[in-house]
Structure 1
Amino acid sequence: MTQSTESTPSATAPQMHTYTAGTLVYEVNLSVPREKAEDYIDWLRGFTKEQVKRIPGFLSTMVFRQPKPYGLHWLSEEGNAKTYITVHYVIESQAHLEEYLKRDQPAVAAAEQDRFEFLVTSRRTLSVVC
């Protein structure tokens, strides 16, 4: 008997989203002290997956570690003391995003701030053009 070399996706594997024209991305950028970054990233992995399960219209998420953002004066002065993280949430529609921002986002931000007092956060919305 031969074994198949095809792999099947795990039930626990993160859902990946294909970015096509019109895909709506809610982006959150974070700055955390380098010495606390690994603990924060470990927490963030579970947190972002839970957000996708819990919040209507959230389809998928990806967490990125980014290099020091040169050219952004207010961040570049931090030297190498910080780790920069970007989270992308793919959102089903503008209406879902607006409902999240109105209903859930203030509590999510407060919870992060209470647990991780040191966050510097910016948010923006992106829409794929092509």
Structure 2
Amino acid sequence: MSSESALSPSSPIHTYSPGTLVYEVNLSIPREKVDDYLVWLKTFTKDQVNKIDGFLSSMVFSQPKPYGLHWLSEEGNTKTYITVHYVVASHAHLDAYLKTEQPAIATAEQERFEFLVTSRRTLSVVF
């Protein structure tokens, strides 16, 4: 997987304070497609923040194979795992996104890339 410097002069510093709402998307991507996917994802996540009301920022993480998740146990070392965090202004903003935009985005991603295994969850910072 390609990687850029962890922090460049133009990289925002993300801080999460109590009550911060995070919409998390987890992706399982075939290793042979990950470089192309990450090029697309970098633009996509920035566009989401710029166009979706209440989406304040995004961060993209790579992760080792998640252990203990049965639905990933048969993938071996053929996948790269990516997690995206979107900081969202409120539950109302997130609910509106999930109702009006997310279904079309998920369908478009599946049609374009044909390989995504995706899970989503919402996190709220406690402290």
Query: What's the TM-score once normalised by structure 1's chain length?
Result: 0.88
Query: In the alignment, which residue of structure 2 is the partner of 1:119?
Result: 116
Partner residue of 1:60?
57
Task: Structure 1: state its 5+ residue gaps.
Answer: 1-8
State whether structure 2 residue 35 is matched by structure 1 residue 38. yes
Percent identity over the alignment?
73
1:22 counterpart (11, 19, 23): 19
What is aligned with 1:96?
Answer: 93
Does the 8 Å contact 1:28/1:86 carry over to 2? yes
Distance 1:107 1:25, change over 3 A: same
Mapped partners of 1:94, 1:57: distance in 2: 9
| 1:74 positional shift | 1.3
- Alignment match, 1:110: 107
| Matched residue type, 2:108 | A
Counting matched residue pairs gives: 120
C-alpha distance after superposition, 1:40-73 (max 9, x if no partner): 0111000000000000000000001110111111
| Correspondence 1:82 to 2:79 | yes
Write the letter of the residue equivalent to 1:86: T
- CA RMSD in angstroms comes to 1.4
Output the amino acid matched with 1:121.
T
Q: Distance in 1 between matches of 2:22 and 2:42?
A: 18
Question: Displaced runs of 4+ in structure 1, greater than 4 A?
Answer: none
CA distance in 1, matches of 2:33, 2:82: 12
Scaled by the length of structure 2, the TM-score of the pair is 0.90
Structure showing greater radius of gyration is: 1
